[in-house]
Amino acid sequence: KRQFLIKAVALNLLDFPLLNAVIRNEEIHVLPDIHVSLAVALPDGLIVPAVANADRAGLAEIIRQRKELVQRALEGKLTRDDLERGTFTISSLAQYDITHFTAIINPPQSGILSVPGTRETLAMANGEVTVKRVSTFGLGVDHRIIDGTVAADFLQNLKWKLERPLITFLGL
Provide the annotated active-site residues: 143
Please report the DSSP string for 122-160 in residue order. Answer: EEEETTEEEEEEE---EEEE-TTT--HHHHHHHHHHHHH
Distance CA 128, CA 41 (A): 41
3-state SS assignment for residue 66: helix
d(CA 138, CA 117) in angstroms, rounded, equals 12
Residue 36's closest CA among 3, 74, 76, 77? Answer: 3
